[in-house]
Amino acid sequence: MPRKKKDVIDLSYSLSDIWRMLTDVEREKLRNNARVLQFRKNDLIYLEDEWPKDLMCLFKGKVKIYKSGVGGRSQIIRIVRPMQYFGYRAYFAREQYVTAASAFEACTVCMIPMELIEQFLRENGNLALFFIQMLSVDLGIADQRVVSLTQKHVRGRLAESLLFLKESYGLEEDGATINIYLAREDLANLSNMTTSNAIRTLSNFVNERIIAIDGRKIKIIDEERLHKVSRIG
């Protein structure tokens, strides 16, 4: 179960992209209605078929958006980075969630009632444009992933996933290790393949000296070749 965070959060900083577009009255309403919750690793944030109630902004941690598939397999749709918004599309569509979200690691998430956001949007054209742009970017990314996951071979899909993780979370201080540690099953679910295929392909990348592996840590040794594998699919 999530816990309410007692620390004082400066919403003007944490929600700066939205905050700067609000009036003083809207900012006060936001302060009075926003809730900041903490989730432990693997906690569910929302479930498929639930009715959406909140706009969510990830303040800290990592969140995966996924959908249950045939035979109990899950497909990771996308991974949320700190300061990204999620969970709002279904509300605008007036439908239940078609995905679920859970914490990859301990997370801090800000929840803002969507009814309040809708009220703001009806009066605030700049904020409405901001949400249109976010939805448009997400749709473009989704379109690209559909093509990649259906047309690329296993090697290309896994290479693309590794590059996606690197771009999303960056590298550790060594300048090579991807700053997120995924179980092989999660990496497979992100790449639309079986866990055994993910393990076998990772081993091939290691043998080809494209990457190095230490447990769940993945170090990129030859990023140029990784891009080439991703590109040729």
**CA 159, CA 227: separation in Å to the nearest integer?**
7
In sequence order, what E strands does the chain have? 3-4, 35-39, 44-46, 54-60, 63-68, 74-80, 85-86, 100-103, 107-113, 211-214, 217-220
CATH fold of 153-232: Arc Repressor Mutant, subunit A (1.10.10)
- Per DSSP, the residues of 118-132 read HHHHHH-HHHHHHHH
Please give the pLDDT value at position 4: 52
Verdict on whether the full-model pTM lies above 0.85: no
Cβ proximity of 111 and 59 under 8 Å: no
Please give the pLDDT value at position 49: 95
Please give the pLDDT value at position 143: 79
* Sign of the C-alpha dihedral computed for residues 85, 90, 96 and 99 taken in this order: negative
CATH 1.10.150.240 fits 3-149, yes or no: no
Tens-binned pLDDT, residue by residue, of the chain (233 aa): 566 554 457 888 889 999 999 999 999 999 999 999 999 999 999 999 999 999 999 999 999 999 887 666 788 888 898 999 999 999 999 999 999 999 988 999 999 999 999 999 999 999 999 999 999 998 888 877 777 777 788 999 999 999 989 988 889 999 999 998 888 999 998 888 899 999 999 999 999 999 999 999 999 999 999 999 998 86
Number of neighbours of residue 201 by Cβ within 10 angstroms: 22
Please give the pLDDT value at position 6: 46
Please give the pLDDT value at position 12: 86
Cβ proximity of 20 and 80 under 8 Å: no
Domain boundaries, the chain: 3-149, 153-232
Number of neighbours of residue 54 by Cβ within 10 angstroms: 23
Please give the pLDDT value at position 8: 55
Nearest to 84 by CA among 52, 58, 45: 58
- Largest Cα–Cα distance in the chain? 60
